[in-house]
Structure 1
Amino acid sequence: MPLKVMAKHRPGGQQVIQRSSFREILSLNGKLIIPLFQRSYCWNEKQIEDWWQDIMVGVSDNTKNKHEGSENVDDKVKKEVDQGLLVHNVNLIRLKKTERNGILEILIVDGQQRITTTSILLAAVLQFGNTFQLTSDTTTEWELLKSDLNQSLQFNNDLKLIPSIPDRAAYREAILRGNIDEYKDSCQVKALAIFKRNLEKLLDSFTKDSEKIDQLKRIVVSALDFMCPMLVELTEADNLAEMFQWYQEKSLLGLAALLKGVPGVQFAASDLVRNFVMSTALGKSLDEQEQIYRDLWLEKIQIPCKGHTDFYLDVFPKTKGVSSLQDTGRFVSEFEEQIRTIINSRGNDEEDEDIERKPDVDLSGMMLFCRFHSFLYSLDIDGDISKINLFVQQFSIFLENI
């Protein structure tokens, strides 16, 4: 039986935790929405290749057990997943379900990189299979697999996964049309090209389309049933914005402790501050979130900063009486204290500036966010949309006058 427990998360509310699979998540009858203010999809080639190799382990296990036929494979793998066998654990995915106008909206609070990667792989399989010269013997098998793929990729005749604004156009082109030219610099399009290259290499040793389709089945089963996250469903949240901020801080504390690059994480302070500012929009409809994003962040901060947002975030607190990092009179949040303690525990009595330029991982964005985090908390604006509006207004005036 899957593990199911009820637990309280720190800011208030409840969550259900259970072992899941990407099949279960992508089969949810609704839209999977990546918050529009989240960072862009950013997995690199090594991370994609590592994901592919993990999937190949599942394909190998399925082959050794001689699972034959799509339905038989699915039934046996699902049974073994329930028993905690034949799975590869891929960390947590956090979701919040909301019904709006009769449509289920599933907000991906954490896990967008893995869900997006799985969707791109399924699209690569679908596009690759559509190139086969099918016979009467193989048409039925492919149509069954194609239906399985579309169930995970589509909802109401549209894409099931809705990425954040910077990723939407590239994702749509990659998934629907397999276009890898127009958005060739997109990480999503690059991931699609890598998966297609690996599929071609894998299937090159098979001469019959029936054998190729069988391999594609095994890949899909491995991607959807062998790769198993622990699903955290947020069933209640007294303050969704506060909860999101708490998860972000908790995640960064863990990363600081690891002190190494982690898939899907970048340390740009502007991204983290944007999430802090925009978290108050989490409980609103997608249209309302997009309007708030444009009004509060894009037009007032991101565009005027012209690619130098981190620089201005560093300068702005100084206009409010915070002269420097070493200012003994400034407010330091508990979160900043924890991050600095973890980083300084590396030893060697490193100076602050040396820590932030450590060659193995660039922590400068995290440290800037920590300082700005303290500054925002000193203004007592946490989760208060009116105070956040005031902050954005003050920052906008600062940009106009600098």
Structure 2
Amino acid sequence: MLAAGGAPSETPPTRSVPATDGDARAQRRKRRAAALAAAEAAAEGDYLSTSVQVARAIRPNASLSYFGFTLFLRPGADSSRLLVILSTKPGFALFRASFGHDVLFVSDARVPYYVQRSSRLATAISRIADRFGYEKISIMGGSKAGFGALLIGGLLAQLKPERIIRILAFQPRVYIWPYEPERSVPGYHRAHAYAAANPERKESMRRNGNAMFVAELPNTIVKMIYSEHNVGDRAQSQLLTGPNVSHLPVPTAIHNAIAILNYVGKSDDDVRRGIERMLASVTEDEQEMAGGIDAETLRQDIRNASHLPSLMQLIAESFSWELKPAPVWWPLAVNMRRAWREAQHWYYATRPEPTIRGARKPREDVAKS
């Protein structure tokens, strides 16, 4: 390249360098770190310090911050039912969807499993339900927010023993503590790495890292919706059992059963556009656990799930779920389960903690886990 006057330019020609996977991961890490820092700052200076203040301050179609959580209440035609949707990301899950009832969208950018300040969130939801007089409450979430739905739903049920709390947990982990190095989900190891660097997070994960108690509560109804061909999803979901726990396998390997059911019964054009959006926003966990995701596989998975209720049908049906009577031996089983969890808690509390490994894992190891 020549400069004015014919002399060679000292500036080399610029070339367009395509972004690499490493660049994309670095950008995601930066965004995640920024979101975590912002959430921590919000928690430090939050002007809403009690759940009573939250219930009084919340307004339809307006968001507010509460100890790092962001809540947004959207009214619907039926004001007697409330659906609480937990998100795994700073934004709100299913925010574009239309519902015929009130929806409380919740996100937590600090710790994606909702283990930190979870009691405060459950209490805030309880106060909001009291203020607006909701007769029925369902709570849902997927993946890390699926664990959050089990945990927050269980805490809410303990706060409101006179209410039935209905929970839709999509491909959740039922326990995230103690730490298990052999797991294949990158986000799981990342969450433990964050907790290892923060004593408060670590204690929250230790205290709230097992949601299996939710199956033992007398006023909860839980449906576990999981990816049938995903070994990790299936194994974790089937760990949760009880008189009012049911399971719905979805014929897919992708770690996102919500997305598959969301397009059941929709037109080919809607499915095509939906798949494009799914591929554009697929997470590292979904890629790692499914062993690669492509449009044709997703299209076939949606076809294979055509006999199942759609996502909106599942949500609508949840409000009509009723408690089933427990067998006579169930109280004994509950006591044994609780004793086992207590013994496990103290056992691991006295053991040396395993080294937290990196989030990446060799592909052949993923296939086995």
Q: Structure 1-normalised TM-score?
A: 0.27
Q: Which has the higher contact order (CA 8 A, sep 6+)?
A: 1
Q: By percentage of residues, which structure has more helix?
A: 1
TM superposition score normalised by structure 2: 0.28
